[in-house]
Amino acid sequence: MLIYLDVNIFLYPVLYENEKLTKKCKEILVKIASGKLTAYTSCLSWDEFVWVISKTLGKNAR
């Protein structure tokens, strides 16, 4: 199964520690890393990820 990853899959593990969705996002990323899931995302998702992280954690977070 091929799934599309929204930017939130990457943001939740970085920005939120105790959210239910954080655990689920981490599980999805581990399944992808282990080859159990196949996924893709877009360049715009990565652009949004960098923008949100830099706005949230500061410009030096890059």
39: burial class by Cβ within 10 Å (0-12, 13-18, 19+)? Answer: middle
The answer to whether residue 62 scores a pLDDT higher than 70 is no
Q: What whole-number distance in Å separates Cα of residue 23 and Cα of residue 14? A: 11
Structure tokens at 38: 């196949």
Average pLDDT on 5-23 reads: 94
Average pLDDT on 25-37 reads: 97
The pLDDT > 70 percentage for the chain reads 94
Which pTM value belongs to this model?
0.82
Which residues partner with 4 through β-bridges? 40
pLDDT at 18: 84
The pLDDT > 90 percentage for the chain reads 84
pLDDT at 14: 93
